[in-house]
Structure 1
Amino acid sequence: MCRSTITISQPTLIPTSNFFEASLIRRRELVRRMCRSQWPFNSTSKAFNFPSLCNRRNSPVLGIFRSRCLFHLRTFFPLTMATRLQYENNCEIGVFSKLTNAYCLVAIGGSENFYSTFEAELAHVIPVVKTSISGTRIIGRLCAGNKNGLLLPHNTTDQELQHLRNSLPDSVVVQRIDERLSALGNCIACNDHVALTHPDLDKETEEMIADVLGVEVFRQTVAGNILVGSYCAFSNRGGLVHPHTSIEDLDELSTLLQVPLVAGTVNRGSEVIAAGLTVNDWTAFCGSDTTATELSVIESVFKLREAQPSAIVNEMRNSLIDSYI
């Protein structure tokens, strides 16, 4: 009987040092091949496998792409979408924090875990600042802001004002305003382009909101509630509003804001959206009582999944190829 021997050749891994010595044409081909076949994704589900990027020591991609990939992915596309947490057994985390695309404010005191959760997710992108406002910890209900500015009530102390101006980026204008309705977070809801305000705010306050935050201002109600800052939360990508908001009101608000809106709840049925949720364009934090269904709605309406690495892999591949050739 004649036996035939089949030899299976193993793919040859090219050391990083040799890679850089290859010709320009060969480099381009190798980089494209690596991105197609050795990118750290599950081949079946195409799911992103971030630990493999750091652990595959024999991969020629590692030596070339590791530092740049880590920088891009952790800086511009944080790996979490929505995080559930609580402040001293209180699920109204929006009362004790304020999140924008340029900074995050967290109330002083309380458990260190609360601050650490924000710091772990955001510190590599934006500053996370511990503070009080007017000597209290309910900072999310007392201030209003976006990437352009931060508005504080008239009873904010000089020390708090100076601390915030020193801690936030220079591009953020921090302004204390003289307004009778001093719980600005309850009276103002805004993103980087539009602000909805309490119908009874002073005209001077309305002008200051437009100047400091760089937004168009509209006096509105949400489902008949004048505290617009409490009953809705929105970013530049979407928004969540009071569950009793009518379809007509949803359409009107969506037209004003130029973002898709959904009526929903947080914290297992709570209608006070902004008290249980704080959100920006790429991540969200909500109370620990928020159900899986509510969390799914939040991630969907704010398009948080689209900000994840698995959604931008093709663009990343092309940019990395261009960067290293």
Structure 2
Amino acid sequence: MIETIDFAGDENIGVYTRVFEDLAVVPLDAPEEYISVVEKRLGVEVINTTIQGSSIIGSLLAGNSNGFIVSSLATSSEVAVLKGHGDVMFLGASMNAAGNVILANDELAIVHPGITDRVAEKISAFLDVPVLMSTIGNIPTVGMAGVATNKGLLLNPGLTKHEIRDIEEITDLPVGTGTVNMGNGLIGTGLIANTTGFLVGSSTSGFELSRIDEVFGY
């Protein structure tokens, strides 16, 4: 069973890929072998695009089953691709890396504490989830400090008691900490997952794999 993989030699697969329950978004230059593994392992349809002209899809795209969030810097052709699969919300250009500043599943969203209350309210309404403005392990780029599926949340090992308490107030899902790629606490850079399964960077250890299994309950 394939669990570890790289993206054209790069173990940071979460930087290039954004996964939802039924869909994965990957760059135009994604290798066919990579696409095939993502489709089979996660049970998703894969679509190819750029976001803001870039291949770092995971950093620039966020959302859940209710739609996609990108910055207003996304091009009309990129937005058209996304709209073929769901609704699209735009962040202001000042927060242009949606995938870095939003961690979301179908039950909650955690957002960069620098996002304004007005934008946080728009995110909550668009994704139809409660929104928590917080850091994860004192890291403001929450989208890369953790991975959230509809089975649980795997978060940076520096997660504080205060952060845990705030998260547990808005979800009953399991919350755990871990790392990927031999100790990298920016879990979102190296792990992609949904309720069907997960894929993680090729340097990830057996202990780290076991922790992912434990938290998400695969």
Same structural fold, with TM-score higher than 0.5 when normalized by the shorter chain: yes
How many aligned residue pairs are there? 218
Q: Deviations over 1:66-124 (max 9, x none)?
A: xxxxxxxxxxxxxx6x72110111111000001111311112214222112112334xx
Taking only aligned residues, the RMSD between alpha carbons, in angstroms, comes to 1.7
- Aligned residue in 2 for 1:92: 12
Which residue matches 2:182? 268
2:77 match = 159
Deviations 1:170-215 (A, max 9, x none): xx32223324111111111011011111111133321221122111
CA distance in 2, matches of 1:136, 1:183: 11
Per the TM alignment, residue 257 of structure 1 is displaced from its structure 2 partner at its CA by 2.8
2:66 maps to which of 122, 129, 148: 148
The structural deviation recorded for 1:247 is 4.2
What SS class does the counterpart of residue 200 from structure 2 fall into? strand
Q: Which amino acid aligns with 2:46?
A: V
Counterpart-to-counterpart distance in 2, 1:159 and 1:114: 24
Specify the structure having the higher radius of gyration (Cα): 1
**Residue aligning to 1:256:** 170
* Mapping for residues 1-325 of structure 1, pairs under 5 Å: 83-122=3-42, 125-166=43-84, 168=85, 172-304=86-218
Q: 1:180 to 1:219 in 2, by over 3 A?
A: same
Q: Shift of the alpha carbon at 1:152?
A: 1.1
CA apart distance, 1:249? 3.3
Task: Considering fraction of residues, name the structure with more strand.
Answer: 2
Matches of 1:238 and 1:202, distance apart in 2: 26
Unpaired runs of 5+ residues, structure 1, are 1-79, 305-325
Question: Contact 1:179–1:202 (CA<8 Å) still a contact in 2?
Answer: no
Tell me if structure 2 keeps the 8 A contact 1:150–1:212. no
Q: Give the SS at the match of 1:256.
A: coil
SS at match of 2:40: helix
User: Aligned equivalents of 2:28 and 2:172: distance in 1?
Assistant: 35
| Unpaired segments ≥5 residues, structure 2 | none
Letter in 2 for 1:134: Q
Q: Judging changes above 3 Å, is the alpha-carbon distance between structure 1 residues 286 and 227 closer, same or farther for their aligned structure 2 residues?
A: same
How far apart, in 1, do the equivalents of 2:90 and 2:136 lie? 26
Quote the Cα distance in structure 1 between the aligned partners of 2:94 and 2:199. Answer: 30
Letter in 1 for 2:97: A
* Runs of 4 or more above 4 Å deviation: none
Instruction: String of CA shifts for 1:112-155, please: whole Å, max 9, x gaps.
Output: 22112112334xx4321111101000010011111111111111
* Mapped contact 2:146–2:156 kept (Cα < 8 A): yes
Give distance in 2, aligned partners of 1:126 and 1:89. Answer: 22
Distance 2:39 2:21 in 1: 14
Partner of 1:18: none
